[in-house]
Structures are given as C-alpha cells and as structure tokens.
Amino acid sequence: MLPELFNIGSLHIYSYGVFIALGTYLAFLYMSKNLSIKLNIQEDEVVKFFLLVIIAAALGGKIFYYLEDLKSYIESPSKLLNNLGKGFVFYGSLIFIIPTAFFYFRKNNWPVWKTLDYGAIAICIVHFFGRIGCFLAGCCHGLPTDLPWGVTFSDPSCSASPLNTPLHPTQLYEVLMIGCIALILHFLMRSKRKSEGDLFLLYLVFYSIGRSIIEIFRGDEARGFLIDGWISHSQGISIIVIVSAVIVFFLKGRSLIKE
C-alpha cells in the first residue's frame, strides 16, 4: 500500500513507525487523563511508566521475532544485527509489558488491577493504529483470496507476498476486532458491576480468541508453526494466554490473588 510516507534526503519516514508513534501518543493521553482524574497519579509518573513500557515492548517484540526462526539466527548470527530494525511480535511485547507493569505499579503503590484495566484500553489504542501501519506496510498479510474485499499489494518495497494478488486484509480484520474490543471495554469500564482487573483479563481472552481465528487467514507463514500447518506460534501463545487469564480470574475471585 504505502510502506514509506515520504523521505527527506536520506531520512525515510515509514508508515508503520508513524502509526505506532501516533497510537502510543494517544494511549499516553488516555492513560494520563484517566489516571490523574481517577487515581490522582501525576503526568510525569505516567511518562516514566510509558518510557519503561516502550523499552519492554520493543525488547519483547524483538526477542519473540528472533525466536520464530531461532535455528536460522543460530546458524547465521550476523542476521541478528541485520534484522534488528525489522519485525516485531505483538505477543512478545505484551508478555514483556505485563510483568513490567506489575513491577512498576507495585513499586510506586499504584492500584495494580484498576490500573491494568485502563492499560487494557491503552494497549488496544496502540495496537489499533499499529495494525493500520501493518496494512500500509504490507506486513502481517493474509492468504490469497477470491473474496471481493481482497486487497492487492503491488509496491515492491512492501512486505506482502505474493504481490499483485488479492490477499485477505488480515491487518484490517484485526483493526476491526481491536476496535470492537476497545469499545466493549470502554462501556464496561463505566459499569459498576465489575471487579478490578476483570476488564484486563477479559481483554486478554477476547484478543486471544480473535487472534486465533484471524491466524487461519494469515499468509506470512515465515512466522512458523508449533504443529506444522495446524497451530501457529501465535495460536499456541493464545491458548496459553486464555488458560492463564481464566485461572487468574478464578483465583482472584476467591481472593487467592491480591494486589
């Protein structure tokens, strides 16, 4: 579609990076506003938290990206540096963000579960815009399709494959899914019939189920499979996330897990 927005001399501005930055900024505004009003947390503390989360997300996303083709990187270690700026795995970022958030919230005496509920919507905001960036860059593309909404990528610099062939717009499927999850969480946030932390756990379950379904239509098979042709890495992680979230929900409900 439009992997590069524009360039100024040797400086190239890529759509994916721009949309990730936009989503991160909007998520920060959302968190900063709600935490200051609802929890009396100052903006400078939210800034520190976001900087820490950005580092954790980048590190986790890149590590999981390498793990998807670990054998290749072991055989050719130079690829680690060559691909340093290419590719991130959302689940890797999420898995690194969660313990980072827990650590920061406890260290600074923030209400852990309540803050995580706001964090779930903030994650949706970043991810929503990130997937738009994916669509423009052609990464995370779908399988070839004859459906009328198939999208054809023709720019040789994009990541989609094959080019000039209608593909499932799996990036947009995920944009729609994440948008719906964010709206559901927003309306549930206003409900008084919820326990703190439930929205965050609900987000994990909703996203994991939706992601597992969308994976069926994904065409970037270089990500690899846990069971060849049947269960992708992301689907395997989704199963673990769903089971973990359900277990935590019941333990929390029985007051076996506290802040």
Confidence band (pLDDT; 50, 70, 90) for 257? low
Please check the confidence at residue 85 and state whether its pLDDT lies above 60: no
Q: How many Cβ atoms sit within 10 Å of the Cβ of residue 36? A: 14
**Rounded to whole angstroms, how far apart are CA atoms 99 and 96?**
6
Residue 7 pairs in a beta bridge with: 12
Structure tokens at 121: 């919507």
Residue-level pLDDT at 166:
96
pLDDT of residue 80: 63
Q: For residue 213, what pLDDT band results from cuts at 50, 70 and 90?
A: very high
Dihedrals phi, psi of 12, to nearest 5 degrees: -105, 130
d(CA 21, CA 28): 10
16 in Cβ contact with 134 (< 8 Å): yes
Residue 23 binned pLDDT confidence (cut-offs 50, 70, 90): very high
Per-residue pLDDT band at 5 (split at 50, 70, 90):
confident
Is the confidence at residue 240, as pLDDT, over 90? yes
pLDDT of res. 258: 59
When pLDDT is averaged across residues 201-228 and rounded to a whole number, the result is 87
Report the pLDDT value the prediction gives residue 86, as an integer from 0 to 100. 62
**What would the pLDDT profile of 145-173 be if each residue is shown by its tens digit?**
999 999 999 988 888 889 999 999 999 99
Structure tokens at 13: 């501005």
pLDDT digits over 94-117, tens only? 999 999 999 999 999 999 999 999
Q: Which pLDDT score is estimated for 1?
A: 65
137-141, 181-185, 195-199, 248-252, range with greatest mean pLDDT: 181-185
pLDDT at 47: 93
The yes-or-no verdict on residue 184 having pLDDT over 80 is: yes
| Other C-beta atoms lying within 10 Å of the C-beta of residue 38 | 13
